Structure 1
């Protein structure tokens, strides 16, 4: 009894004092696991089977992830990388433009010969009209510079410009060479959009003044109605629809007769369209000169 109290570790360990060491470096002999380090070596301890403990594995994983994030963010961009990125962007932009250009070229390659001829003729006509307008403006400038009475010359040009604008606005009558387009519609198949297409084709071909069945066509003219009950700017019009057009006849007539153009479209609807060149066309249907409610000249 006295020996048990003197040795608190118990009788099992009293006869083997040599295997007891400091608790921080103690080693214990286990019959199945071999020698196992004591509590002081827990950070490096292993679970059965030689695997690291769960606490050690989680600590290493978090530390590695933090090191990875710290190394990648914020990203460091060198001058060489920036130059390469700009070069790649420029290359991509160039390729996109080239693809777009090739698409336009392919569309033209697939066009019929008649369509290509029409496109070229329209481009030539528009170029010529722009050149004529430029020449006219140059002549006006020369006249103003050389005129002894520049004020009188400026007044004449102002009146001429007012007359031209009046023709475009439909407030002034006009006459000149042109064509007459007559559309007969026995089956009442002509729709409002077909008449509007005819107006657009005529304008594109250089028409300067147009009236349809006594209605002056201006910038805001519209067509409406169905089944032969058509209106132009709210006024009822009936077949035959007569377009009186002032412009260059050599440009206006081919524009209507091109394959797939106005005449051919109307014929598909069992309507008939005839074009006649005229030396003199009179467009005398007038529109009231409406004063704008809000717009004023900037010189006022």
Structure 2
């Protein structure tokens, strides 16, 4: 190709291409696309992005509800820990021999439950192995009736146990304190309880009545005398545990004496009450 032809082609190409259009500034001061900015905005660092994302905080409704639930849970745990600490304060200050006595009492309760389990298993085996199952069932029914009569207070009972006397000269002993004593004795294995001539049964209730106390509607006055049938080695320590019945009554300036005996007679009786609505399902 000659020089003349190259000049002619270049001239033709220049005529076909449009002229360069200068970059125009937009109304907000920025150049149009394709133009090179003379003063670009400063580049944002990762730390600045993190700060901008965290502050100001943006709390949604769901986040607020979760925060309130967590606060309530934490407050409940704190109250539970505080209550457990208060309940254990008596044990923390107890002497070594008192702690040993508490452990022995727990072991005795466990043993009583195990003995009861073995007794029920023995009755089952006797019924299964007896040649005259009807006679054996009748014998066990009579024995069970006698046991239930003792628990229901419809028959007299005697056996080893303790006598606890509460002398209240200040008049500070109330019904709830006597009820605590009954519950502690039951937990320690008491099988029959009598308070000032009133038989204590499962439905027994105690109320304050002026300067005295009522047991199932019967007024009793100090000194309060408990006659309890059970294992003396279990009953007496249960009353004398740290923070227990005896210490609580002594704080109220009452005098408590507990005596063991090989023979306690509980002869106060309760009339057998027929239920108004409940009937045996076997009838």
**TM-score scaled by structure 1?**
0.63
Displacement of 1:35 = 7.5
1:176 to 137, 152, 159: 159
Answer yes or no: is the 8 Å Cα contact 2:249–2:255 preserved in 1: yes
Gaps of 5+ in 1: 1-27, 29-33, 37-44, 53-95
Given that 2:189 and 2:230 are in contact with CA atoms closer than 8 Å, whether structure 1 keeps it comes out as yes
Residue 111 of structure 1, CA deviation: 6.0
Counterparts of 1:158-169 in structure 2, within 5 Å, are 158-169=141-152
List structure 1 runs of 4+ shifted beyond 3 angstroms: 107-111
2:226 alignment partner, one of 227, 233, 243: 243
1:186–1:48 Cα change, 3 Å: closer
Higher relative contact order (CA 8 A, sep 6+): 2
Equivalent in the alignment of 1:278: 261
**Which of 245, 249, 269 is the equivalent residue of 2:252?**
269
Residues 286/110 of structure 1: CA separation in 2 closer, same or farther (3 Å cut) = same
- 1:49 maps onto 2:29 in alignment: yes
Please tell me whether the aligned partners of residues 170 and 253 of structure 2 are also in contact (alpha carbons under 8 angstroms): yes
Q: Hey, what does 1:255 align to over in structure 2?
A: 238
Q: Distance in 2 between matches of 1:183 and 1:51?
A: 102
Number of equivalenced pairs: 212
Superposition RMSD on alpha carbons, in Å?
A: 2.9
Contact 1:183 1:274 in 2 (8 A): yes
Stretches of structure 2 lacking an aligned partner (at least 5 in a row): 1-20, 33-76
Map of 1:209 onto structure 2: 192
Write the distance in 2 (CA, Å) between the matches of 1:149 and 1:128.
Answer: 32
The answer to whether 1:200 aligns with 2:183 is yes
Give the superposition deviation at 1:269: 1.7
Q: 2:201 aligns with which of 215, 218, 233?
A: 218
